[in-house]
Structures are given as C-alpha cells and as structure tokens.
C-alpha cells in the first residue's frame, strides 16, 4: 500500500476504533493528530485511547508532552514526518487519525511553518489582549484569517509571534501520498453520541482528572484551555452545579463538532464517508485505497 491513510472527523464519531480495526487488517501503525492527546495525564477529557483499546497496534504522538508544555503545529508536522519515515522504513502502513484539522491540513499540504524562538514577554503581553485586539494586530501584517481562526486565541497569538519574528507561513502543494477520509453521520446521531460520551466520562472520573490537572498546573496551560476541563471550573469555584457544567460541556462539544465538520471544506482531495457501521467504513476505505493504487 503506497498511500498514507488519514481519518478525520468530528469528536465521538468513532475514529479511533475504526483506525485500530483498519490497522489490524492492513498491517499499519497509527499516528495521532490530536492536539490534546499529546499530553500525559489528559486522558478522560480527551477521550484518549487506552492501552487495552489499542489492541496491540502501535500509536504515536500520544503522551509526548507534560500538561504545562506547549506544542505547536510546526512541532507536530516535524514530529509526524519523522514518524512517517520511520514507519515506512520498517515496512508498515500508516494511518493518521484525529480531529485537529489544522494539524492534518498543515501536514498534507506541506505547510512550511517556520520555527520561532519563544518570546515569553511578548506571549504574556498578547495573552492580556482581547481577541479583537489580536485580530487587528494580525491585520497590520496583512495576515488573511479564516472564520475558524477568529475564535482561537492561541492560534491568533501564534500567528502574531511568527509574524513579529519576520517569518511567514508558506503553503506548498498537496502531498499526493495522503488520502484523507472525512467521516460524518446524521447530526442527531452524532449529538446523541456526544452527550452519551460525556456522561460516560463523568462516570469514569472526569471530575477527579480535571481537579487534579487544574490544581497541579496553570489553568492557562494550552491543554487545559481545551473543551472538557475549563467548563468544570465554575463547579470547583462553587458558582454552578455539576449538572449545569456538564450541560455546558455537552453544548460546547456539539458546537466544536460542528466546527470540525465545517473544516471538511478546507481539505483537498477529501473523500467523505457516512458512518453507518464501522465495518462498512473500513471496507470503503480499503476499496478506495485499492482503486487509487490501481
């Protein structure tokens, strides 16, 4: 198999399990494209695949950073390419799976994200800015922003850091080694799965995990700004009930899923697959890859 399979889709659609079952069939290893699962200890809230759930399939770029460390798109692309080369040398196939659309887009379209030296003073100054101020700063650099950028403060700050360093983002052509499969399902089914997943997370110990991480690390840490943890802060502060916070978490997760689906339109050469059953998705992916390999 010459192609590298990429499986993208909204949260709770079943990407991880589909990737594992597919990997068993095609002798593949899995690379995670999830900006939160890279962090150690951030497990329940990120729906991180457990060792048992991996079923012996090697997974890469999971648990590689501490919760108080930062991790950029530049670092992901660099690390992912290193893993791809290593896996190819060992004669295995590759499946990249995750819901962080920017990671996948940067990798498959060969974005050249220049590495910048971190400027802590600048970072702290930008953190104090309102989102509208960050947008205005970027406009002064003639940076073209997409809708998804406007609500992502960390991304806006990163763009400014790169712009002020004198570096630029260079976008090259799509790498034809990659075949991107976008999974989707009926909205009602997806929302039901999201609500159920969050209820299960609460039963598995999400509250304890969030409390530990928020006490142990700065709540401004990159990973603790993710959906799944910040929504519980009002409960810990005695401002809202647990049920209220969980309902807010469900709503924000559903909204996030909508944004992930919207991101479909930004991928080149995307093959959309409606999820009726996991077996059907696996068969569709294999058939498409066989057709492309001729």
Residue spans of the domains in the chain: they are 116-167, 187-257
Residue-level pLDDT at 123: 79
Mean pLDDT of 147-157: 74
Topology of 187-257 in CATH?
Answer: Helix Hairpins (1.10.287)
- pLDDT tens column, 238-283: 999 999 999 999 999 999 999 999 988 888 889 999 999 999 999 9
Nearest to 11 by CA among 268, 212, 226: 226
Residue-level pLDDT at 153: 81
Q: Which residue has the tokens 């569709």?
A: 284
Q: Taking the CB of residue 141, how many other CB atoms lie within 10 A of it?
A: 12
Residue-level pLDDT at 114: 55
In the predicted structure, residue 195 carries a pLDDT above the cut 70: yes
In the predicted structure, residue 165 carries a pLDDT above the cut 70: no
Residue-level pLDDT at 294: 63
Residue-level pLDDT at 250: 97
Average pLDDT over the chain reads: 88
- pLDDT tens column, 4-47: 999 999 999 999 999 999 999 999 999 999 999 999 999 999 99
Residue 208, CB half-sphere, CA atoms under 13 Å: how many? Answer: 3
Partners of 184 in the beta sheet? 274
In the predicted structure, residue 293 carries a pLDDT above the cut 80: no
Write 289-293 long-range contacts (CB < 8 A, 24+). Answer: 289/1, 289/3, 289/5, 289/179, 292/3, 292/179, 293/1, 293/2, 293/3
Confidence label for 131 from pLDDT (cuts 50, 70 and 90): confident
């Amino acid at each position: 198999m010459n192609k590298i399979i990429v499986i993208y889709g909204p949260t709770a659609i079943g990407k991880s399990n589909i990737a594992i079952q597919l990997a068993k069939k095609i002798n593949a290893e899995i690379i995670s494209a999830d900006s939160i699962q890279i962090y150690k200890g951030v497990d329940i809230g990120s729906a991180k695949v457990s060792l048992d759930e991996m079923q012996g399939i090697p997974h890469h770029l999971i648990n590689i950073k501490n919760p108080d460390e930062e991790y950029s798109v530049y670092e992901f692309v660099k690390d992912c390419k290193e893993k791809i080369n290593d896996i190819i040398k060992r004669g295995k196939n590759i499946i990249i799976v995750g819901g962080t659309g920017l990671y996948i887009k940067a990798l498959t379209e060969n974005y050249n994200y220049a590495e910048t030296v971190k400027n802590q003073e600048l970072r702290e100054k930008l953190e104090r800015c309102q989102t509208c101020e960050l947008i205005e700063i970027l406009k002064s650099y003639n940076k073209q922003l997409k809708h998804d950028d406007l609500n992502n403060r960390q991304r806006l700050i990163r763009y400014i850091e790169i712009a002020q360093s004198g570096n630029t983002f260079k976008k090259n052509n799509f790498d034809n080694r990659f075949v991107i499969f976008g999974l989707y399902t009926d909205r009602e089914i997806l929302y039901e799965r999201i609500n159920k997943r969050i209820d299960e997370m609460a039963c598995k110990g999400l509250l304890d995990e969030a409390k530990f991480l928020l006490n142990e690390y700065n709540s401004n840490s990159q990973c603790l700004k993710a959906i799944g943890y910040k929504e519980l802060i009002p409960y810990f502060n005695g401002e809202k009930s647990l049920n209220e916070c969980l309902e807010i978490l469900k709503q924000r997760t559903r909204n996030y899923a909508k944004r992930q689906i919207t991101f479909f339109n930004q991928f080149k050469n995307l093959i959309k697959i409606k999820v009726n059953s996991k077996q059907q998705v696996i068969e569709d992916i294999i058939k498409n890859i066989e057709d492309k390999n001729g």
